[in-house]
Amino acid sequence: MSFKELSATFSRKELPESEMEFVGEVPAADIEGYKDTAAAHIAEHIELPGFRPGKVPKDMAVKKVGELAVLEEAVELFVKDFYPEFIDEQKVAPVGRPDIRITKLAPGQPIGLTIRITLYPEVTLPKDWKKLAEKVALETAAPATEEEVTKTLEDLRQSRKKDEIVPELSDEFAKSIGAFESLEHLKAQINQGIGEEKMRSARDARRGKLIDALLEGTKVAVPRLFIESELEKILAQMREDVTRFGMTFDDYLKKANKTEEGVRNDFREQAAKRAKLQLTLNKLAQEEKVEADPTAVEAEMKHAMEHFPDANPELVKVHIETVMRNEGALKILEGELKGEPLK
């Protein structure tokens, strides 16, 4: 039976979270041609006393592992050839790796297969998302207070303490901090810096409210695959942070009296929100034709590869383009940008 004919015999079922399941059987005759290659593959990797690695005769390897193991290996080899054409015939575009399971396996009998794939979900933005910026105002940031400036100056004094002696506030002290002409100049810069930080905090707060409003009105069935991907990113960051403090992740888990699965469950809701946000921003960027500027991407890639020479260039490029598109989409959401290449 041809792959095309066989593909047509599989039933199709749509599942929640943008997944699809196909169930069918493969005639035993279609697997026969793969058995010899399967036996050779097993012989190449099995270890038997008296034989060097890779030199075990096929008949002895088959006798050692059994006919069922050879059949299972043959099915896996068959699936590698069959799956790409199967997807083409089914006219679906899966994301990520498929979940392919052998549900029935017996010599001379049809092989039962269940193929589960994840599809890129349909994302529906709220109809009035472009008006959200009008509904969520930017709160006015209060200017720096005298108390805040004084506290910052005191922190600077304490950071320059030597032998329990704290330097006096003076023009000389200001000049020792950096390119400041006088103490008044330093105070003015601190005042400005605190004001700018408050403004950034106000913008961040507004962006957070806009994101929450956008996500609340967006309809999308977030696939588990996307949530698991975000969980892996969160855990990777945790491992990096823990290592930076001189601990192993296992030590951290013991100290926190948690398991890795427990940590994953703690962050699952956050990962789901992050996954939904990324899907939503992808849709917004697509509708508004937001693209990363190639020149800017190239410049960022050069900078990144200088710091991380062992990184995969293609993955670095995808990451940079995604970050730029996300920022462009968010600026459009904030009402600050129309669709254009992001630099």
3-state secondary structure of 122: coil
Last residue of a domain, one of 189, 219, 249: 219
User: For residue 44, what pLDDT band results from cuts at 50, 70 and 90?
Assistant: confident
pLDDT tens per residue across span 75-91: 999 999 999 999 999 99
Residue 152 clears pLDDT 50, i.e. is over it: yes
Do 125 and 113 share a structural domain?
Answer: no
Q: State how far the Cα of 276 lies from the Cα of 217, in Å rounded to an integer.
A: 12
Pair (114, 7) in one structural domain? yes
Q: Which two tokens stand for residue 34?
A: 């793969």
Instruction: Give me 54's structure tokens.
Output: 């890779």
Average pLDDT over residues 250-261: 92
pLDDT tens-digit profile of 212-251?
A: 999 999 999 999 999 999 999 999 999 999 999 899 999 9
The tokens describing 39, both together, are 């036996």
Gap between the Cα atoms of 162 and 159, Å rounded: 9
Closest alpha carbon to 183 in 167, 199, 194, 172: 172
Half-sphere exposure of 219 (CA within 13 A, CB side): 4
Together in a domain, 105 and 189: no
Question: Which domain covers residue 147, as residue numbers?
Answer: 121-219
Q: What's this model's pTM, rounded to 2 decimal places?
A: 0.81
Mean pLDDT of the chain: 92
25, 127: one domain: no
Residues 31 and 83 in one domain: yes
Calpha distance 29→78 (Å, rounded) = 12
**CATH number of the domain to which 63 belongs:** 3.30.70.1050
**Does 263 map to a domain?**
no
Mean local confidence (pLDDT), 44-65: 83
Structure confidence at residue 337 (pLDDT): 66
CB 301 within 8 A of CB 317: yes
Model pLDDT for residues 307-320, shown as the tens digit of each residue:
989 999 999 999 99
Domain count within the chain? 2
pLDDT digits (tens, 9 = 90+) for 55-65: 888 888 888 88
User: Could you tell me if 100 and 126 lie in one domain?
Assistant: no
User: Does 339 score more than 60 pLDDT?
Assistant: no
Structure tokens at 6: 């066989």
Q: Of the residues 79, 97, 119, which one is the last residue of a structural domain?
A: 119
Taking only the tens place, the pLDDT of each residue in 17-40 is 899 999 999 999 999 999 999 999
Cα dihedral 216→218→222→227 (10° resolution): -50
Residue 152: CB partners within 8 Å, gap ≥ 6?
A: 190, 194
Answer yes or no: are the C-beta atoms of 120 and 93 closer than 8 Å.
Answer: yes
Residue 336: per-residue pLDDT: 82
